[in-house]
Amino acid sequence: MHIIHDDLLPLYHTMRQFSQCKFPIDLEYRIVLMEGWNEGAYFDLYKLLTNKELLLRKDLRKAKNLICFQHGVIGISKFTTWYQYGFRQPQGPLPHISLTGGYMQHFTKFIKSRLGLKHVLFHRSDSSYIVLCSREHNRLIINELDLSMMIARQFKKQVIRVSMATHSLKEQIQLVSNASALIGMHGSMLILAMFLPPGAKLIELFPFGINPDNYTPYRTLVELPGMNVVYASWRNEIEENTVTYPHEAPDVGGIDHLSEEEQEEIMNAKEVPSHLCCSNPYWLFRIYQDTVVDIQSLLSVIESTENKQKKLSSRQVPAHDYKLYPSKVVHVTCQPPAEGTQSTLWLSWKPPINVPFFETEDVKYEVWIQQAGQDDYVAYILDITDYIFKENLARNTHYNVWVRCIVNERPGPFGNVTRCVTN
């Protein structure tokens, strides 16, 4: 969850902003990771974003001389993030989310292409199997085998149990990309829901005492405009169907280090109170429980999503079957150029508000740049919403800019002129 949400997706978006090539990003960029000294467990995921060798802080210190870069971008954009983890206020969705399902499909298509997987965008509500996320060490589904068999029998579909121990990331993505549903306990593995095909569903399970409405990173993800994934949550309501671990270390649910009064209060609480990240003992005690899932109640939750899934699939008609056109591009802005740099024009804009309803990846933007007082103009076609123009520009000169959106080769209207000036 954190690697993809905090790093990979923002890094991908940042590289798209500065890439000047037809492939989604320029794979010849050198990536320098400045947080931490070692590679870490997910280092291979960062490698997917470049053909160059990654540099770490320790690599920079090894050199006896300075390492010079002709051009550099420091930091990564947070345009694609959708969730805050509760450091200053209880966790929840960010107030202004710009990410859409269409952009998410750009990212997942890129990741799959780098892993050597085919990207086929079509509805799989009729897929022959369901993926069940299996955990190895904690927050276990104690009756996982029985649950798998009952789901398979009820819905007449194969249930494939997937875990980090039994399947590689590539295998996990491949399976989820063609599944009709992803089911699993609340946890980082559910970030794979971004690879679910349109028309699929995500069923998120929560241990006893954990209110699903207070922990929604994956619900927020699949409910982004254009994702078209049906979401439902199941919560263990039977306290006897849970196994706690009060004698474990505090960071995995142990409470022995607390006073007897505090321990009793935590064990008697029927719901985790609102809290900040990340060491609240009520939260840790309950989230690291193992659970005997009440199968009939979970089957009822899954059954309740069947009609939603069928309705979603039945109304999904490719956008080009309608005579629908994109509306105006909004918030076209010019960023001030840096002092002492060559003549540049840094433009950004927001997609039309109806773009998420097209259900397509064929979204482009046409940009016209005209020197003030002149009749001719230069036109560009881009598939991103932020770009630095450097060619055919004069210093200290005023320019008029128009931007319009093109979806499935159908152009929308130009918005009002935006007036910019180069340095």
3-class secondary structure, 148: helix
Let me know: does 329 contact 403? Beta carbons within 8 Å.
yes
Task: State the sign of the Cα–Cα–Cα–Cα dihedral 66, 67, 72, 74.
Answer: negative
**Token representation of residue 381:** 């076609």
Lowest-confidence segment of 16-25, 225-234, 315-324, 362-371 by average pLDDT: 315-324
- Give the pLDDT band (50/70/90) at residue 356: confident
Let me know: does 220 contact 83? Beta carbons within 8 Å.
yes
Let me know: does 122 contact 177? Beta carbons within 8 Å.
no
Residue 403 has pLDDT above 60, yes or no: yes
Read off the amino acid at residue 382: L
Mean pLDDT of 391-418: 90
Tell me the whole-structure pTM to 2 decimals: 0.75
Quick one: how far is CA 10 from the chain centroid? 9
Quick one: how far is CA 294 from the chain centroid? 30
Let me know: does 145 contact 89? Beta carbons within 8 Å.
no
Contacts of 211 (CB under 8 A, 6+ apart): 235, 271, 272
Contacts of 137 (CB under 8 A, 6+ apart): none
Let me know: does 276 contact 86? Beta carbons within 8 Å.
yes
DSSP conformation class of 364: E
Residue 319 has pLDDT above 60, yes or no: no
Smallest CA-to-CA distance from 241 within 209, 213, 266 is with 209
Lowest-confidence segment of 165-179, 296-310, 311-325, 409-423 by average pLDDT: 311-325
Q: How far is 59 from 31, CA to CA, in rounded Å?
A: 12
Q: How far is 144 from 328, CA to CA, in rounded Å?
A: 50
| pLDDT value, residue 362 | 82
Quick one: how far is CA 92 from the chain centroid? 15
Q: How far is 96 from 114, CA to CA, in rounded Å?
A: 30
Smallest CA-to-CA distance from 216 within 231, 237, 238 is with 231
Smallest CA-to-CA distance from 220 within 197, 194, 196 is with 194
Contacts of 65 (CB under 8 A, 6+ apart): none
Smallest CA-to-CA distance from 151 within 188, 203, 199, 195 is with 203
pLDDT, tens only, 122-174: 555 567 899 999 999 999 999 999 999 999 999 999 999 999 999 999 999 99
Lowest-confidence segment of 235-249, 250-264, 377-391 by average pLDDT: 377-391
Read off the amino acid at residue 367: V
Q: How far is 46 from 28, CA to CA, in rounded Å?
A: 14
Q: What pairing do the DSSP bridges indicate for beta strands 363-371 and 398-407?
A: antiparallel
| pLDDT value, residue 162 | 96
Q: How far is 204 from 211, CA to CA, in rounded Å?
A: 12
Smallest CA-to-CA distance from 352 within 417, 416, 415, 418 is with 415
Better pLDDT: 321 or 324: 324
Residue 381 has a CB neighbour count (10 Å cut-off) of: 9
Let me know: does 339 contact 354? Beta carbons within 8 Å.
no
pLDDT, tens only, 175-186: 999 999 999 999
Q: How far is 327 from 356, CA to CA, in rounded Å?
A: 11
List domains and CATH numbers for the chain. 1-81 (no CATH), 96-244+289-316 (3.40.50), 330-421 (2.60.40.10)
